[in-house]
Amino acid sequence: MDNQDIKNRFGIIGNSPLLNRAIDVAKQVAPTDISVLIQGESGAGKEVFSHIIHQLSARKHGPFIAVNCGAIPEGTIDSELFGHEKGSFTGAHEARKGYFEVQDGGTIFLDEVGELPLGTQARLLRVLETGEYIRVGSSKVQKTNVRVVAATNVDVFEAVKKGKFREDLYYRLNTVPLRIPSLRERKEDINLLFRKFIVDFSDKYRSPGVQLTPDAQELLMNYSWPGNVRQLKNIAEQIAVLEKERVVDASILAKYLPMEQQKSTLPVFVKDGGKEDFSERDLLYKVLFDMKKDMVDLKKLVVELIQQGVNSGTFEQNSSYINQLYDEVSPAPAAYLREEMSAQQPTLTIHNPSQPTIGNGDYMPYETQDAEEVEESLSLVEKESDLIKKALKKHKGKRKAAAKELGISERTLYRKIKDLNLD
């Protein structure tokens, strides 16, 4: 039986290479009797492939049952799978056969096998390895000849690393891995599937057919489809029943597609592995902390320049960085700095209008932790004013040459002359 015959028989639509590869694997593994682990997202069609494996195997005349492991309560899952004896637990009024006993000679499809409790996983491993099991409340070992096809939409290997899934069971089930592609991985099949679903539902509800415009087809292909084929079928049914317009464009189709959560491209500060969200106040504190760091660096350089006598070589090495920090922190007007610096203590403090205030409205000083006390004046305004005057005098008032000597831009020099009233 070729792939097209399998598609026709089991209602599979599409020609994606990934889909064809999955059918090839299912077709090759079906005649054997080994366990298969089908992996794929929810709604991708994992159960259809379990039917393919069963129907193409030697067990096709035997029973087949699909068990959703995630839908059975943890307290009763062992009883459902392996059976129980009368009186083995409260409510066990009579003995009951489990699925492994009833399906002897056939196939059991364990959907969402990753949801099994660890104790049940140990029982399942024994069945897979020896074909033996014990009913709940019994001590008698029984045999079964059942093929297990398991499926999951979670990353089982990650569950193994977290201790939520037995490693030995993972490798026993994963003898032949079979991965079903998601719908967004087979975009070329989306429009074909949608047309098939629309035709089916139009016949079912006796409604006129629906056509998609090119922009609607583009939207259909570019949507992420988190629910895969199941979601696409649901959307097609809604449109067939509810939509009055039989020619559907992108604006109409968008009303039926759930809005996806947009991922922000803004930088986010992460704390404790991203478990807590930062408020605007936290972000503001972060910005102010970075500003304080820049100011501390600036003050340290100024103190070093003063201690070294501000010779030309030292100034040339540091003037570029000083000017960069000066522009970044947007210094206060000179008059404000003179007033604040007049009563300055030996520890160098520079105020910035954007820095946080204390309760009474005074500015919180940025303290220099490593600077040593010096007896001479540490007024940044006075030293800056003297340097600019010397540079202007040296170059006979030529501001362009003076700016170059100072290592700053001519525009910055004009602003400093104005702020320092040097005209």
In this structure, what CATH number is given to the domain that contains residue 148?
3.40.50.300
Cβ neighbours for 341, distance < 8 A, ≥ 6 positions apart: 379, 380, 381
Domain span at residue 201 reads: 184-254
Q: Find the CATH number of the domain harbouring 234.
A: 1.10.8.60
Q: Are 69 and 174 within one domain?
A: yes
**DSSP states of 101-119:** HHTTTSEEEEETGGGS-HH
On whether the pTM is more than 0.75, the answer is: no
Write down the pLDDT at residue 369. 45
Last residue of a domain, one of 128, 153, 181: 181
Cβ neighbours for 142, distance < 8 A, ≥ 6 positions apart: 101, 132, 133, 134, 135
Instruction: pLDDT tens for the chain, 423 residues: list them.
Output: 788 999 999 999 999 999 999 999 999 999 998 999 999 999 999 999 999 999 999 999 999 999 999 899 888 899 999 999 998 888 888 999 999 999 999 999 999 999 999 999 999 999 999 999 999 999 999 999 999 999 998 888 889 999 999 999 999 998 888 999 999 999 999 999 999 999 999 999 988 889 999 999 999 999 999 999 999 999 999 999 998 888 999 999 999 998 654 333 334 444 444 444 445 566 666 677 777 777 777 777 777 666 665 455 555 555 665 565 555 544 444 444 444 445 444 444 444 444 444 444 444 444 444 444 445 555 667 777 888 888 888 888 888 888 888 888 888 887 788 777 776
Q: Looking at the domain assignment, is residue 81 inside a domain? A: yes
Containing 39, the helix (H) or strand (E) segment is strand 36-39
Q: Which two tokens stand for residue 402?
A: 């003076």
Q: Are 152 and 202 within one domain?
A: no
Write down the pLDDT at residue 285. 64
Query: Taking the C-alpha atoms of 197, 200, 203 and 206 in order, what is their torsion angle to the nearest 10 degrees?
Result: -40
Q: Looking at the domain assignment, is residue 273 inside a domain? A: no
Q: Are 299 and 406 within one domain?
A: yes
Last residue of a domain, one of 129, 158, 181: 181
Write down the pLDDT at residue 92. 83
3-state secondary structure of 12: coil
Q: Which two tokens stand for residue 36?
A: 């298969």
CA 131 to chain centre: 41
Q: Looking at the domain assignment, is residue 276 inside a domain? A: no
Last residue of a domain, one of 181, 205, 237: 181
Q: Are 175 and 189 within one domain?
A: no
Q: How many domains in the chain?
A: 3
Residue 6 · residue 23 · CB < 8 Å: yes
Long-range CB contact pairs, 343-347, < 8 A, 24+: 344/378, 344/379, 346/373, 346/374, 346/378, 347/371, 347/373
Q: Looking at the domain assignment, is residue 99 inside a domain? A: yes
Q: Are 151 and 205 within one domain?
A: no
Q: Looking at the domain assignment, is residue 275 inside a domain? A: no
Q: Are 54 and 94 within one domain?
A: yes
Q: Looking at the domain assignment, is residue 76 inside a domain? A: yes
Query: Crossing angle, helix 410-419 and helix 399-406, to 10 degrees?
Result: 100
| Beta strands in 247-286, from DSSP E residues, in sequence order | 247-248
**In this structure, is the dihedral angle defined by the CA atoms of residues 341, 375, 298 and 281, taken in order, positive or negative?**
negative
Q: Are 14 and 144 within one domain?
A: yes
Q: Are 287 and 153 within one domain?
A: no
Buried b (16+ CB within 10 A) or exposed e, 298-331: bbebbbebbeeebeeeebeebbeebbebbeebeb
| Beta strands in 59-140, from DSSP E residues, in sequence order | 64-68, 107-111, 132-134
Q: Which two tokens stand for residue 144?
A: 């079964």
Q: Which two tokens stand for residue 216?
A: 């609607």
User: Distance between CA 111 and CA 95 in Å, rounded?
Assistant: 26
* Helical H segments across 272-378, by residue range: 280-307, 312-329, 334-341
Q: Are 49 and 132 within one domain?
A: yes
Q: Looking at the domain assignment, is residue 413 inside a domain? A: yes
Q: Are 244 and 301 within one domain?
A: no
Q: Are 40 and 137 within one domain?
A: yes
Residue 85 · residue 138 · CB < 8 Å: yes
Dihedrals phi, psi of 366, to nearest 5 degrees: -95, 115
Q: Looking at the domain assignment, is residue 274 inside a domain? A: no
Write down the pLDDT at residue 208. 87
Cβ neighbours for 418, distance < 8 A, ≥ 6 positions apart: none
Q: Are 413 and 300 within one domain?
A: yes
